[in-house]
Amino acid sequence: MMRTRLFVSLLCVLNLAVTTSVFAENNESKREFLSPYDNSGTWTFVWENDYFANTDRNYTNGVRMSYISGFKKPNGVSKFVAENILGADDEAGIRRGFAIGHSIFTPQDITTATPLPDQHPYAGWLYGEYTVVVEQRNVVDQFTLQTGMVGPSAQGEFVQNNWHKLINGDPANGWDNQIKNEFGMVLSYDRKMRALLSIGDSSFGADATPSFGWSVGNIHTNARVGVTFRLGTDLTNDYGPPRVRPSLAGSGFFAPKKKFSWYLFAGANGTAVAQNIFLDGSLFRDGDPSVDSNTFFGDFQVGIAMQVRRAQIAYTYVVRTKEFTQQENAQEFGAVSISVKF
Protein backbone atom coordinates (compact mmCIF):
# COMPACT_ATOMS: atom_id res chain seq x y z
CA MET A 1 0.00 0.00 0.00
CA MET A 2 2.84 2.43 0.86
CA ARG A 3 4.54 1.61 -2.46
CA THR A 4 1.30 2.33 -4.38
CA ARG A 5 0.80 5.70 -2.62
CA LEU A 6 4.38 6.74 -3.38
CA PHE A 7 3.97 5.77 -7.03
CA VAL A 8 0.64 7.63 -7.42
CA SER A 9 2.10 10.76 -5.82
CA LEU A 10 5.08 10.75 -8.17
CA LEU A 11 2.79 10.15 -11.16
CA CYS A 12 0.68 13.18 -10.21
CA VAL A 13 3.79 15.37 -10.07
CA LEU A 14 4.91 14.16 -13.51
CA ASN A 15 1.46 14.80 -15.02
CA LEU A 16 1.50 18.34 -13.60
CA ALA A 17 4.88 18.92 -15.23
CA VAL A 18 3.51 17.65 -18.55
CA THR A 19 0.50 20.00 -18.39
CA THR A 20 2.64 23.03 -17.54
CA SER A 21 5.25 22.41 -20.22
CA VAL A 22 2.67 21.63 -22.92
CA PHE A 23 1.00 24.99 -22.22
CA ALA A 24 4.33 26.77 -22.58
CA GLU A 25 5.15 24.93 -25.81
CA ASN A 26 1.82 25.74 -27.42
CA ASN A 27 2.52 29.46 -27.00
CA GLU A 28 5.64 29.34 -29.19
CA SER A 29 6.15 29.05 -32.94
CA LYS A 30 7.42 25.55 -33.58
CA ARG A 31 7.82 24.91 -37.28
CA GLU A 32 11.24 26.46 -37.86
CA PHE A 33 13.03 24.06 -35.48
CA LEU A 34 12.05 20.99 -37.53
CA SER A 35 14.41 19.53 -40.12
CA PRO A 36 12.43 19.81 -43.39
CA TYR A 37 14.64 17.22 -45.11
CA ASP A 38 14.10 14.60 -42.40
CA ASN A 39 11.52 12.52 -44.26
CA SER A 40 13.41 9.23 -43.96
CA GLY A 41 12.90 6.75 -41.15
CA THR A 42 15.43 5.40 -38.64
CA TRP A 43 16.09 1.67 -38.17
CA THR A 44 17.80 0.78 -34.88
CA PHE A 45 19.17 -2.41 -33.36
CA VAL A 46 19.99 -2.37 -29.62
CA TRP A 47 21.77 -5.16 -27.75
CA GLU A 48 22.16 -5.03 -23.96
CA ASN A 49 24.08 -7.77 -22.14
CA ASP A 50 25.96 -8.25 -18.88
CA TYR A 51 28.63 -10.13 -20.88
CA PHE A 52 30.23 -6.68 -21.24
CA ALA A 53 30.64 -6.61 -17.44
CA ASN A 54 31.80 -10.24 -17.21
CA THR A 55 28.70 -11.29 -15.26
CA ASP A 56 25.63 -13.45 -15.98
CA ARG A 57 22.79 -12.63 -13.61
CA ASN A 58 19.51 -10.73 -13.10
CA TYR A 59 18.82 -8.68 -16.26
CA THR A 60 21.23 -10.62 -18.44
CA ASN A 61 20.19 -9.86 -22.04
CA GLY A 62 17.95 -7.54 -24.03
CA VAL A 63 17.60 -7.01 -27.78
CA ARG A 64 15.32 -4.61 -29.63
CA MET A 65 14.81 -3.83 -33.32
CA SER A 66 12.85 -0.66 -34.02
CA TYR A 67 11.73 1.65 -36.80
CA ILE A 68 10.77 5.32 -36.31
CA SER A 69 9.40 7.08 -39.38
CA GLY A 70 10.35 10.49 -40.72
CA PHE A 71 7.79 13.25 -40.36
CA LYS A 72 4.39 11.91 -41.41
CA LYS A 73 0.90 13.27 -41.64
CA PRO A 74 -0.87 11.27 -38.92
CA ASN A 75 -3.96 9.21 -39.56
CA GLY A 76 -5.96 6.61 -37.70
CA VAL A 77 -4.52 5.60 -34.35
CA SER A 78 -1.43 7.82 -34.66
CA LYS A 79 -3.61 10.87 -35.40
CA PHE A 80 -5.81 10.22 -32.34
CA VAL A 81 -2.81 9.69 -30.03
CA ALA A 82 -0.84 12.67 -31.38
CA GLU A 83 -3.69 15.15 -31.19
CA ASN A 84 -5.82 13.94 -28.27
CA ILE A 85 -3.25 12.43 -25.92
CA LEU A 86 0.03 14.20 -26.73
CA GLY A 87 -1.48 17.58 -27.63
CA ALA A 88 0.07 17.94 -31.11
CA ASP A 89 -1.07 20.82 -33.33
CA ASP A 90 -0.54 21.53 -37.03
CA GLU A 91 2.98 22.84 -36.44
CA ALA A 92 4.34 19.78 -34.59
CA GLY A 93 6.54 17.12 -36.18
CA ILE A 94 4.89 13.71 -35.84
CA ARG A 95 6.48 10.29 -36.24
CA ARG A 96 5.23 6.78 -35.65
CA GLY A 97 7.18 3.63 -35.02
CA PHE A 98 7.21 -0.11 -34.47
CA ALA A 99 9.55 -2.45 -32.60
CA ILE A 100 10.07 -6.03 -31.53
CA GLY A 101 12.13 -6.96 -28.50
CA HIS A 102 13.21 -9.76 -26.22
CA SER A 103 14.57 -9.65 -22.64
CA ILE A 104 15.98 -12.40 -20.40
CA PHE A 105 16.28 -12.51 -16.61
CA THR A 106 18.07 -15.20 -14.57
CA PRO A 107 19.35 -15.85 -11.03
CA GLN A 108 23.01 -15.44 -10.14
CA ASP A 109 23.51 -19.20 -9.92
CA ILE A 110 22.50 -20.72 -13.27
CA THR A 111 24.22 -24.09 -12.67
CA THR A 112 21.54 -25.61 -10.42
CA ALA A 113 18.13 -26.88 -11.51
CA THR A 114 16.56 -26.40 -8.06
CA PRO A 115 14.50 -23.28 -7.20
CA LEU A 116 16.46 -20.34 -5.75
CA PRO A 117 13.99 -18.29 -3.67
CA ASP A 118 16.51 -15.58 -2.74
CA GLN A 119 17.71 -14.90 -6.30
CA HIS A 120 16.19 -13.25 -9.37
CA PRO A 121 13.55 -15.52 -10.96
CA TYR A 122 14.04 -16.90 -14.46
CA ALA A 123 11.89 -15.04 -17.00
CA GLY A 124 11.68 -14.20 -20.69
CA TRP A 125 9.72 -11.30 -22.24
CA LEU A 126 8.93 -11.27 -25.96
CA TYR A 127 7.00 -8.22 -27.15
CA GLY A 128 5.92 -6.00 -30.00
CA GLU A 129 5.65 -2.23 -29.72
CA TYR A 130 3.77 0.64 -31.35
CA THR A 131 4.76 4.25 -30.65
CA VAL A 132 3.76 7.78 -31.59
CA VAL A 133 6.36 10.57 -31.29
CA VAL A 134 5.50 14.28 -31.27
CA GLU A 135 8.40 16.71 -31.67
CA GLN A 136 7.96 20.34 -30.60
CA ARG A 137 10.47 23.04 -29.75
CA ASN A 138 13.15 21.43 -27.54
CA VAL A 139 10.67 18.72 -26.50
CA VAL A 140 9.82 15.20 -27.64
CA ASP A 141 6.72 13.41 -26.32
CA GLN A 142 6.40 9.68 -26.85
CA PHE A 143 3.41 7.40 -26.23
CA THR A 144 4.07 3.65 -26.48
CA LEU A 145 2.05 0.43 -26.29
CA GLN A 146 3.87 -2.86 -25.72
CA THR A 147 2.13 -6.25 -25.96
CA GLY A 148 3.70 -9.67 -25.70
CA MET A 149 4.26 -12.83 -23.68
CA VAL A 150 6.11 -13.64 -20.47
CA GLY A 151 6.97 -17.25 -19.70
CA PRO A 152 8.03 -20.36 -21.66
CA SER A 153 6.31 -18.97 -24.79
CA ALA A 154 8.87 -16.14 -24.79
CA GLN A 155 11.62 -18.73 -25.46
CA GLY A 156 14.10 -17.33 -22.94
CA GLU A 157 15.64 -20.75 -22.34
CA PHE A 158 16.13 -21.39 -26.07
CA VAL A 159 17.75 -18.00 -26.68
CA GLN A 160 20.05 -18.04 -23.64
CA ASN A 161 21.30 -21.61 -23.92
CA ASN A 162 21.95 -21.37 -27.64
CA TRP A 163 23.87 -18.11 -27.07
CA HIS A 164 25.89 -19.80 -24.31
CA LYS A 165 26.60 -22.71 -26.62
CA LEU A 166 27.86 -20.26 -29.26
CA ILE A 167 30.30 -18.60 -26.83
CA ASN A 168 31.22 -21.88 -25.04
CA GLY A 169 29.47 -20.79 -21.86
CA ASP A 170 27.74 -22.89 -19.21
CA PRO A 171 24.07 -23.78 -19.85
CA ALA A 172 21.41 -22.27 -17.59
CA ASN A 173 19.83 -25.30 -15.89
CA GLY A 174 16.95 -23.78 -13.90
CA TRP A 175 14.52 -22.66 -16.62
CA ASP A 176 11.89 -25.15 -15.36
CA ASN A 177 11.43 -22.66 -12.49
CA GLN A 178 10.64 -19.64 -14.66
CA ILE A 179 7.62 -17.36 -14.38
CA LYS A 180 4.60 -18.96 -16.06
CA ASN A 181 3.01 -17.92 -19.35
CA GLU A 182 1.10 -14.64 -19.27
CA PHE A 183 -0.02 -12.17 -21.92
CA GLY A 184 1.44 -8.75 -21.14
CA MET A 185 0.49 -5.17 -21.95
CA VAL A 186 2.26 -1.94 -20.96
CA LEU A 187 1.29 1.65 -21.76
CA SER A 188 4.14 4.19 -21.44
CA TYR A 189 4.59 7.94 -21.74
CA ASP A 190 7.95 9.72 -21.94
CA ARG A 191 8.95 13.38 -22.33
CA LYS A 192 12.50 14.52 -23.18
CA MET A 193 13.63 18.16 -23.09
CA ARG A 194 16.66 20.22 -24.09
CA ALA A 195 15.75 23.39 -22.22
CA LEU A 196 17.73 22.77 -19.01
CA LEU A 197 21.20 23.63 -20.35
CA SER A 198 22.85 24.30 -23.72
CA ILE A 199 26.35 25.68 -24.29
CA GLY A 200 28.20 26.23 -27.57
CA ASP A 201 26.95 25.49 -31.08
CA SER A 202 26.84 22.68 -33.65
CA SER A 203 30.65 22.79 -34.02
CA PHE A 204 31.21 21.92 -30.36
CA GLY A 205 29.05 22.24 -27.27
CA ALA A 206 27.44 20.70 -24.23
CA ASP A 207 23.86 20.19 -23.14
CA ALA A 208 21.67 18.55 -20.52
CA THR A 209 18.54 16.65 -21.50
CA PRO A 210 16.11 15.94 -18.66
CA SER A 211 13.38 13.35 -19.10
CA PHE A 212 10.50 11.85 -17.19
CA GLY A 213 7.78 9.30 -17.79
CA TRP A 214 5.61 6.50 -16.52
CA SER A 215 4.52 2.99 -17.47
CA VAL A 216 1.34 1.15 -16.46
CA GLY A 217 0.61 -2.51 -17.12
CA ASN A 218 0.71 -6.05 -15.78
CA ILE A 219 4.39 -6.44 -16.80
CA HIS A 220 5.70 -3.38 -14.99
CA THR A 221 4.21 -0.21 -13.52
CA ASN A 222 6.61 2.59 -12.62
CA ALA A 223 7.42 6.29 -12.78
CA ARG A 224 10.86 7.62 -13.69
CA VAL A 225 12.90 10.78 -13.99
CA GLY A 226 16.43 11.29 -15.33
CA VAL A 227 18.93 13.54 -17.04
CA THR A 228 21.66 13.02 -19.66
CA PHE A 229 24.69 15.30 -20.01
CA ARG A 230 26.48 15.40 -23.37
CA LEU A 231 29.67 16.95 -24.74
CA GLY A 232 30.48 16.94 -28.45
CA THR A 233 29.32 18.10 -31.89
CA ASP A 234 25.90 18.45 -33.57
CA LEU A 235 24.04 17.76 -30.31
CA THR A 236 20.66 18.62 -31.85
CA ASN A 237 21.15 15.48 -33.95
CA ASP A 238 19.20 13.41 -31.38
CA TYR A 239 18.08 13.15 -27.75
CA GLY A 240 20.65 10.56 -26.72
CA PRO A 241 21.24 6.93 -27.74
CA PRO A 242 18.38 4.38 -27.83
CA ARG A 243 18.03 1.76 -25.09
CA VAL A 244 15.68 -0.95 -23.83
CA ARG A 245 13.00 -0.07 -21.25
CA PRO A 246 13.09 0.78 -18.38
CA SER A 247 16.50 2.34 -19.07
CA LEU A 248 17.23 6.02 -19.65
CA ALA A 249 16.87 6.27 -23.42
CA GLY A 250 16.86 8.66 -26.36
CA SER A 251 13.99 9.22 -28.77
CA GLY A 252 14.90 6.42 -31.21
CA PHE A 253 15.64 8.67 -34.21
CA PHE A 254 18.40 11.03 -35.31
CA ALA A 255 18.46 13.92 -37.81
CA PRO A 256 22.07 14.60 -38.87
CA LYS A 257 23.12 18.04 -40.04
CA LYS A 258 26.77 17.06 -40.54
CA LYS A 259 28.51 14.20 -42.34
CA PHE A 260 30.29 13.31 -39.11
CA SER A 261 29.55 14.07 -35.47
CA TRP A 262 30.21 12.60 -32.04
CA TYR A 263 29.50 13.12 -28.38
CA LEU A 264 30.36 11.72 -24.97
CA PHE A 265 27.51 11.31 -22.50
CA ALA A 266 26.75 10.52 -18.88
CA GLY A 267 23.35 10.16 -17.28
CA ALA A 268 21.33 9.12 -14.27
CA ASN A 269 17.78 7.82 -14.01
CA GLY A 270 15.65 7.12 -10.93
CA THR A 271 12.66 4.78 -11.06
CA ALA A 272 9.85 4.28 -8.53
CA VAL A 273 8.33 0.83 -8.93
CA ALA A 274 4.77 -0.21 -8.11
CA GLN A 275 4.89 -3.62 -9.86
CA ASN A 276 7.47 -5.69 -11.75
CA ILE A 277 6.34 -9.15 -12.87
CA PHE A 278 9.97 -10.29 -13.24
CA LEU A 279 10.53 -9.77 -9.48
CA ASP A 280 7.05 -9.79 -7.90
CA GLY A 281 5.39 -12.47 -10.02
CA SER A 282 1.98 -12.16 -11.64
CA LEU A 283 -0.74 -9.79 -10.42
CA PHE A 284 -3.39 -12.34 -11.30
CA ARG A 285 -2.18 -15.63 -9.83
CA ASP A 286 -0.11 -17.12 -7.02
CA GLY A 287 2.73 -19.56 -7.37
CA ASP A 288 5.20 -17.64 -9.51
CA PRO A 289 8.77 -17.41 -8.15
CA SER A 290 9.36 -13.98 -6.60
CA VAL A 291 11.70 -11.92 -4.41
CA ASP A 292 11.28 -8.85 -2.19
CA SER A 293 11.58 -6.06 -4.76
CA ASN A 294 12.77 -2.55 -3.88
CA THR A 295 10.50 0.46 -4.38
CA PHE A 296 13.29 2.53 -5.96
CA PHE A 297 16.30 1.82 -8.13
CA GLY A 298 18.67 3.97 -10.15
CA ASP A 299 20.61 3.69 -13.42
CA PHE A 300 23.95 5.42 -13.97
CA GLN A 301 25.42 5.35 -17.45
CA VAL A 302 28.36 6.65 -19.48
CA GLY A 303 29.21 6.20 -23.13
CA ILE A 304 30.00 7.54 -26.58
CA ALA A 305 27.94 8.02 -29.76
CA MET A 306 29.23 8.63 -33.30
CA GLN A 307 27.36 9.47 -36.49
CA VAL A 308 28.79 9.07 -40.00
CA ARG A 309 26.48 10.28 -42.77
CA ARG A 310 23.29 8.24 -42.37
CA ALA A 311 24.54 5.81 -39.69
CA GLN A 312 24.99 6.14 -35.95
CA ILE A 313 26.61 3.80 -33.42
CA ALA A 314 26.67 4.15 -29.63
CA TYR A 315 28.07 2.25 -26.67
CA THR A 316 26.74 2.64 -23.12
CA TYR A 317 28.00 1.16 -19.85
CA VAL A 318 25.34 0.94 -17.15
CA VAL A 319 25.37 0.43 -13.39
CA ARG A 320 21.90 -0.31 -11.96
CA THR A 321 21.39 -0.24 -8.20
CA LYS A 322 19.85 -3.20 -6.39
CA GLU A 323 16.30 -3.99 -7.52
CA PHE A 324 15.47 -6.47 -4.72
CA THR A 325 16.53 -6.83 -1.11
CA GLN A 326 18.33 -10.19 -1.50
CA GLN A 327 20.45 -8.91 -4.40
CA GLU A 328 24.13 -9.03 -3.47
CA ASN A 329 25.58 -6.49 -5.90
CA ALA A 330 24.51 -3.75 -8.25
CA GLN A 331 23.80 -4.81 -11.82
CA GLU A 332 26.35 -3.90 -14.51
CA PHE A 333 25.90 -4.34 -18.25
CA GLY A 334 26.75 -2.78 -21.58
CA ALA A 335 24.54 -1.64 -24.46
CA VAL A 336 25.43 -1.32 -28.16
CA SER A 337 23.11 0.42 -30.60
CA ILE A 338 23.36 0.76 -34.39
CA SER A 339 21.00 3.12 -36.22
CA VAL A 340 20.66 3.70 -39.96
CA LYS A 341 18.43 6.13 -41.88
CA PHE A 342 16.61 4.91 -44.99
CB-CB contact of 19 with 50 (8 Å): no
| The model scores a pTM over 0.95 | no
Distance CA 53, CA 332 (A): 6
Model confidence pLDDT, tens digit, residues 144-170: 999 999 999 999 999 999 999 998 888
Query: Cα separation of 256 and 305, whole Å?
Result: 13
- For the chain, residues with pLDDT lower than 50 are 2, 5-6, 8-31, 37
Note the pLDDT of residue 8. 46
Q: What does the pLDDT read at residue 32?
A: 52
pLDDT tens-digit series, residues 213-253: 999 999 999 999 999 999 999 988 888 888 888 787 788 88
At 301 the pLDDT is: 95
What integer pLDDT is reported at residue 304 of this predicted model? Answer: 97
**How far apart, in Å, are the Cα atoms of 56 and each of 52, 165, 226?**
10, 14, 26
Neighbours of 18 (CB within 10 A): 18
Sign of CA dihedral 176, 181, 170, 121: negative
Those residues whose C-beta lies under 8 Å from the C-beta of residue 278, and which sit 6 or more positions away, are: 105, 120, 121, 123, 125, 150, 179, 220
CA distances from residue 93 to 81, 96, 128, 133, 257 in whole angstroms, order as listed: 13, 10, 24, 8, 17
| pLDDT of amino acid 161 | 96
Report whether 97 contacts 108 (CB < 8 A): no
Give the model's pLDDT for residue 25: 42
The whole-number pLDDT of residue 101 equals 97
Domains of the chain: residue spans and CATH: 2-341 (2.40.128.140)
Q: What pLDDT, on the 0 to 100 scale, is given for residue 34?
A: 54
